[in-house]
Amino acid sequence: MSLALLCPGQGAQHAGMFDRVRAVAAAQPVLAAAAEVLGRPADSAAASEDRFENANAQPLLCAASLAHWQGLRDRVPTPLLVAGYSIGELAAHAIAGSFDAATCLSLSRQRAHLMDEASPPQAGMQAVLGLEREPLQALCAAYDAHIAIANGADHFIVGGRLDALQALADAATARGADVRPLPVHVPAHTPLLADAARGFAQVLAEASIQTPMLPVLAGIDARPVRDRAAVERTLSLQLAQTVEWAQVMRQAFERGARVFLQLGPGTALARMAAPAYPCCEVRAVEEFRSLDGAANWVHAALGRMQ
């Protein structure tokens, strides 16, 4: 089958992000594990103003992807592969069977803590649209910032200290780029988090990790992760290296994915994929009122791709 699952990263958290799974029996173990990690129900954490803080955002995002998948997994065919954007890569591995939901949520909280601890003060991330990689890389070198995520030929996320990001934003805007600050307060996927990457490698080495049952495309190089050593290596390195999301999507397509379903929350990954791969069927769970609607669409989309 040609179904690929996409697990989102930070930025789209909202109060209703668990609405579709609140009463779904299969999702309850995930929601219970999330409540234990967050110290309150996932619904309450999602509705709180602190939902964008790393310690809450990362478990919330993993819980949302996993809860939606648990509600869908018996209603749709087995995916061809799974991919995750930033923290979504951790959720992707839980879906693929590298570890269970409770382990995923615990790892997400530890990941957030290590990133916060390693981050310099007054740092963050911003989207830069309208500049290609080479000129943007030159600006990053000039202003001490870093390309954190490559979403497309002229769509990037940049991380660094806030003063460096402001200087880069001014220069990029002068060149016609559209620059948008993101609600993320650490320079994820940049060398500034090298200490976090080393710390998370140690955490993963002690975690209960199995061989994935589904291919997971690694964010740092788009290669399929198929054994424990690769799980540990790729999940730790991505904290301090550029996430090559455009390459991940291209590799998914080249491997045969033709139907893409983004799990919750948000629709950002679907909105990026749809124009890039117009021959494919692309939707996000949050575009449907219920999981039934999402499952019905998956079956119809797969039928149209035959």
Amino acid at 72: L
Matching residue, tokens 């780029």: 177
Contact present, 216 and 98 (Cβ < 8 Å): yes
pLDDT, residue 207, reads 98
pLDDT, residue 1, reads 59
pLDDT, residue 306, reads 85
**Can you tell me the distance from the alpha carbon of 216 to that of 296, in angstroms, rounded to the nearest whole number?**
24
Hey, is 82 helix, strand or coil? strand
CA 101 to chain centre: 16
Residues of the chain with pLDDT under 50: none
pLDDT, residue 129, reads 98
Hey, is 253 helix, strand or coil? helix
Cis bond before residue 278 (omega within 30° of 0): no
pLDDT, residue 106, reads 98
pLDDT, residue 131, reads 98
